[in-house]
Amino acid sequence: MSATKAPEDGQSGDDPSRDLRSVLVTSVLNLELLDKDLFRGRHYWVPSNQRLFGGQIIGQALVAAAKSVSEDVHVHSLHCYFVRSGDPKVPLLYQVERTRTGASFSVRSVKAVQNGLPIFICQASFQRTQPSPLQHQFSMPTVPPPEELLSHQDLIEQCLRDPNLQEKYRVGLNRTAAQEVSIEIKLVSPSTLRQLQSMEPKQMFWVRALGYIGEGDMKMHCCVAAYISDYAFLGTALLPHHWQHKVHFMASLDHSMWFHAPFRADHWMLYECESPWAGGSRGLVHGRLWRQDGVLAASCVQEGVIRVKPRVSKSKL
């Protein structure tokens, strides 16, 4: 990171109430210190597949790594592998190894352990602020601002009011609406059911953490962004195929992230996601997190296993 404080310029919309501290900070990403470089994390939101949410593991691992470095260095990249499925009923232990502490860069390795076995490994690199005359970035896509878009919850309620909605979609939407996720999402181009058969493997949505995080703790904003980055990310690879195939199994295999500029995770950011390739029961997705003022805040890449079954039409029954 190039600064310890995210700028306010270009961040439209009011802050969530300062009296409502984000649950991502107070609970979801909060770790219990057991010993030097050893932490225990607990689980909160669990997806419908009853496995641990990968974003929470990434975020908690980055919290553990950040606690082992000095205040004047900030994460610029992380690379993770999910090696085993986690049990939502069992706490996770995070073991931090201080791989290297240098003058400019420091590297930390984090292993998440459950029942004596590693389920996740991560390496994070931190950098002391260094100015550079070499600067460039892509241009942010032109999209409607979040203030002009319906919330994810509003879109679900709108769909549920459709009397022609098939029962299988109604059940899925009700299940999604019941999930307690600590982030707010607004889809840029919501798809109708009629458009599902012609979708590209691309999606964009505005996203921010619910609640107030604050300005000064850039490390925590990065940890929250790591949590956010895994939400609905791998699903981008399914968009052209969802109408034809039913997901049998889907899970993250690896996840990488690079942090480019200061940002506020409790302010709206545009998440631009695309899947350039899928095959071999795997899907690859790329993502870019943009500040509302057009600054590229972070980049993400993930590969996951995706196993599907053909949908059986009623005419064949």
What residues are labeled active site?
230, 252, 302
d(C-alpha 257, C-alpha 222), whole Å: 10
| The two three-digit tokens of residue 268, written as one number | 């709206």
